[in-house]
Amino acid sequence: MIKTKETEKALALVKGQTSKAIAAAQALIVKDEKSLEKAAELILKINAVGKLIKKSMAKFIDPAKEIIKNTKEMFGPVEKRYQEAEGIVTSKMIDFREKEAAKAKIKEAKIAEKVESGKISFEKASEKIEKIVPKKAIGNKAGKVQFRIHKTIEIVDEKKIPRSYYKLDLVRIRADALNGIEIPGVKVVEKEILAKSSY
């Protein structure tokens, strides 16, 4: 991490405020209405420390975000074109390879027939098959590209998929339940939390 006088000054300020907040929070005992009011006063002070930390961080994060945004805007169209070019070439290579693999399969079947009929030996068949199988890798001075089998999935019948594979839409469930919609297996639970607002 690069530290400058400005970052060290900002960090020292928030570290000091945070240390005071922790000490006050640990020393706090809430036992009656008066101490509850003191706790409320303390939580608002701690909240102000949180705001100070966020404000201090923003001084350094916001310019970095702007740099990232501008860089993406500048290079985005070029990157998209490069990806398009790569996709075109990849697609053409795979199409060719699939055609060659289909041809090789037909030739392999013919060689297998010759082995079964006794026209050629297993050794000779192996040599012939080795020559017709499409290359899995192509290399040159720039590098190497390989054809690999990549496994993916395709949903053929959604109704047959076991329930355990479905993810609950908790955002929708929460919104509907809090709007009074009865959902089997869900209940609305009320829990007291502390809301803070400073003036």
Please give the pLDDT value at position 81.
Answer: 96
What CA–CA distance (Å, rounded) separates 38 from 28? 9
Name residue 138's amino acid: I
- What is the average pLDDT score of the chain? 90
What CA–CA distance (Å, rounded) separates 1 from 64? 14
pLDDT digits 0-9 by tens, 132-173? 888 888 888 889 999 888 898 999 999 999 988 989 999 999
**Average pLDDT over every residue of 40-52:** 92
Please give the pLDDT value at position 136.
Answer: 86
**Please, which pLDDT band fits residue 28 given cuts at 50, 70 and 90?**
very high
**Please, which pLDDT band fits residue 2 given cuts at 50, 70 and 90?**
low
**Are 82 and 89 contacting, i.e. CB atoms less than 8 angstroms apart?**
no
Give the CA distances from residue 176 to residues 59, 170, 184, 192, in Å, rounded to whole numbers and listed in that order: 39, 10, 12, 21
pLDDT digits 0-9 by tens, 75-131? 999 999 999 999 999 999 999 999 999 999 999 999 889 888 888 888 888 888 888
Phi, psi at 31, each rounded to 5°: -130, -15
